[in-house]
Amino acid sequence: MTTHSESSPTGYACIQRYAKTLDSSPGVYRMLDADSRVLYVGKARNLKARVSNYTRPGHSGRIEKMIASTASMMFLTTRTETEALLLEQNLIKQLKPKYNVLLRDDKSFPNILVAKDHDFPQIKKHRGAKKEKGAYFGPFASAGAVNRTLNQLQKAFLLRNCSDSMFDSRTRPCLLYQIKRCSGPCVGLISEQDYSESVKDAERFLSGRSTKVQEELAEQMTAASEAMEFERAAGLRDRIRALTQVQTSQGINPRGVTEADVIGLYMDSGQACVQVFFIRANQNWGNKDFYPRVGQDVSPAEVMEAFLGQFYDNKEPPRQLILSDGIENADLMQEALTEKAGRKVELLVPQRGEKQELVAGALRNARESLARRMSESATQAKLLRGVAEAFDLDGPPGRIEVYDNSHIQGTNAVGGMIVAGPDGFMKNAYRKYNIRGDDLMPGDDFGMMKEVLNRRFTRLQKEDPDRDKGLWPDLLLIDGGAGQVSAVHEIMQAHGVEDIPMVGVAKGVDRDHGKEEFHRIGQRPFALKRNDPVLYFVQRLRDEAHRFAIGTHRAKRAKAVGATPLDEIPGVGAARKRALLTHFGSAKAVSRANLADLKAVEGISAGLAQKVYDFFHDKG
């Protein structure tokens, strides 16, 4: 690969100068502005021909603006066009250029895992790398879709969902056995062979062979009924119902499509919604909507191609992608995805039949989702204009940061920051702060808020000193009155930040929702009318910050409850800590154990046993 970059005049003249130096290799090009910010990343089968195309007039308004801002370019040549396509989408996700179509929400999706590292396999939700031994089924569109399916599968197949350590410690069956969601393998209420058959049935169902499973259960139910085993027959009837419930809740169960993602794209007024339905094993495993960043003059083909490249950059594609819109480089995309998956991946744009009906359903969902989002955006824009008016801001804030603290008598103290903007809550921008201040008195809310804001502005000045990355707030909302506002004002002054408006939100005299008072430096407190939509909006922001801070505090407290002195011993990780606690029963018993007993613990070497012994006996 080669790269080169040099300063040059801006616009057409700049691009012409680069075009003369290029050959016909495939590769990726970057356009940069005068401050070396990446404006656009593109791929080319022939770099010289593609870049030369920018030197001729007749482009859309968006591309004309981009050309005018271009002050330099960078190039990476690749061996193949497929490599160029993959590199382009990777760079777009990494650099987020202003003029590219950008997929903003790109989380991994959950799977169902039937774990195979135990005689009685566990069935559970799994997200992330597939490192555990077992059979994976997915992806599902959401945790909710997985939980609904797991719930019904437990009713149908009575498989355990408890952890191995919980399984090993049971002496009598748990509540799930009592409510007929588990067969009680932990205490020997089902044989290993019978449990194994249930596991096979669950896997067959998740692999699409559901009718066969239901037929066999129906035969068993009839036989049980004829043998007068009415309780067993009723249990089998409930299991058949549970399987039917899974299929009914899925809504779409295509006969002719075994494994595919159905992708519908709808565009309106410079905005786009992409709806993805996950079809696996002839079943609908949920759908999810995405809102890529697009411009007014971007074509559906360009949006669809960018979506596919970025969406499957870190996901395994299914055997078929059924699309509402074709893309320009379909052969290239198909080749790239086939290479990535290690098996054939087809791109289809159906015109009739069942596949076209699936696309029509995805399109309808995309259209309705985009209409709802645009309606919510309009409401949000109106609320932000109201906030600007209520607090005398120069214009509607693009980024509001709201802060809150949570603690119990000063212990496990945490600070939380939530962020809201034109599209609602920006959850990927939320931040939590573990309060470190050793000199803080228990319950010192002023001190805690000072620490959080101090750390926030120190980081901001390091990460975005020129304030051009959109990380700086346009408005700060603080939970508290005049004292809190004064404390935060001192911090901001210390950092030389004088131009960010800040408002303290304090409850009124009788701490009643609706009687909030707003405090600003150098001004008298004021209140909004009880029915003012801006008041409800601020309350919602404050409540979300409170929810986030409390949730973070609870998680920290729960972790602290599970902490033991063993956590402080070098070389004692989670597995060895578990081995020691299982063997001795408590951390206190470990601390009193002699060296010989420590060496007898499975998984604890003589050297580590010595370390553990020394830790507890050499403290004087």
Q: Per-residue pLDDT tens for 209-234?
A: 655 666 777 777 888 777 787 777 77
E strand or H helix at 215, and its extent?
A: helix 210-226
Q: Is 417 helix (H, G, I), strand (E, B) or coil?
A: strand
Where does the pLDDT of residue 438 fall: very low under 50, low under 70, confident under 90, or very high at 90 and above?
A: low
pLDDT reading at 329 higher than 90: no
pLDDT-based confidence at residue 385 (cuts at 50, 70, 90):
very high
Domain boundary among 250, 284, 303: 250
Instruction: Kindly report the CATH number assigned to the domain that includes residue 89.
Output: 3.40.1440.10
Identify whether the C-beta of residue 524 lies closer than 8 Å to the C-beta of residue 533: no
Q: Decide if 87 contacts 29 (C-beta within 8 A).
A: no
| Closest to 40 measured CA to CA, from 83, 80, 95 | 95
State the DSSP string of 147-203. HHHHHHHHHHH----S-HHHHHH-SS--HHHHTTS---GGGTSS-HHHHHHHHHHHH
Cα 304 from Cα 40, distance rounded (Å): 17
Same domain, 407 and 518: yes
Residue 403: CB partners within 8 Å, gap ≥ 6? 415, 416, 417, 449, 452, 453, 476, 477, 478, 479, 545
Q: Taking 70 as the threshold, does the pLDDT of residue 41 lie above it?
A: yes
- pLDDT over 60 (residue 163): yes
The reported pLDDT for the residue numbered 618 is: 66
Mean pLDDT computed over 560-566 = 64
Instruction: Choose the most confident range, by mean pLDDT, from 27-41, 225-239, 431-445, 472-486.
Output: 27-41
Q: Are residues 48 and 116 in the same domain?
A: no
- Whether residue 136 lies inside any domain: the answer is yes
501: pLDDT confidence band, cut at 50, 70 and 90? very high
Domain holding 48, by residue range, is: 12-95
State the CATH number of the domain containing residue 587: 1.10.150.20
**Residue 510: per-residue pLDDT:** 54
Residues 576 and 516 in one domain: no
In a shared domain, residues 120 and 143: yes
Domain assignment present for residue 440? The answer is yes
Compute the distance between CA of residue 437 and CA of residue 458 in angstroms, rounded to an integer: 16
Q: Are residues 286 and 426 in the same domain?
A: no
1 in any annotated domain: no
In a domain, 395, yes or no: no
Q: Do 41 and 171 share a structural domain?
A: no
Average pLDDT over residues 249-272: 81
Q: What is the model's pLDDT at position 443?
A: 56
Give the pLDDT confidence score for residue 6 in this predicted structure.
46
- The whole-chain average pLDDT of the chain stands at 84
Domain-embedded: residue 533: yes
So what's the pLDDT on residue 577? 80
Cα four-point dihedral sign 287, 289, 292, 297: positive
**CB burial class (10 A; 0-12, 13-18, 19+) of residue 557?**
middle
Q: Which residue has the higher pLDDT, 261 or 435?
A: 261
Region 331-358: mean pLDDT is 92
Contact 100, 77 (CB under 8 A): no
**Quick one: 40 and 26 in the same domain?**
yes
SS3 93: helix
300 falls in which pLDDT band (50, 70, 90)?
very high
pLDDT tens for 183-196 read 899 999 999 998 99
- What is the structure's pLDDT at 556? 60
Same domain, 22 and 36: yes
Q: What CATH code is carried by the domain that includes residue 536?
A: 3.30.420.340
101 found inside a domain: no
Average of pLDDT values for 280-294? 87
Do residue 215 and residue 278 come from a single domain? Answer: no
Confidence of residue 274 (pLDDT cuts 50, 70, 90): very high
Mean pLDDT over 518-541 rounds to 89
CATH at 305: 3.30.420
355-365 average pLDDT score:
93
- Domain identity same for 409 and 553: yes
Provide the pLDDT for residue 5: 45
Say which residue, 441 or 609, is predicted with more confidence. 609
Indicate the residue among 95, 130, 149 that finishes a domain: 95
Structural domains in the chain (count): 5
Taking alpha carbons only, the member of 257, 274, 288, 252 closest to residue 140 is 288
**Within-domain flag for 255:** no
Describe the chain by its helix, strand, coil percentages, rounded to 5. Answer: 45, 15, 35
Pair (239, 345) in one structural domain: no
pLDDT band at 3 (very low <50, low <70, confident <90, very high): very low
Q: Which residue has the higher pLDDT, 335 or 480?
A: 335
Average pLDDT, integer, range 68-92: 92
* pLDDT for position 291: 93
**Of 147 and 28, which is predicted with more confidence?**
28
Q: Please say which residue of 188, 223, 250 terminates a domain.
A: 250
User: Is there a domain that residue 384 lies in?
Assistant: no
Q: Do residue 518 and residue 599 come from a single domain?
A: no
Q: Residue 70: which of 138, 143, 16, 132 has the closest Cα?
A: 16
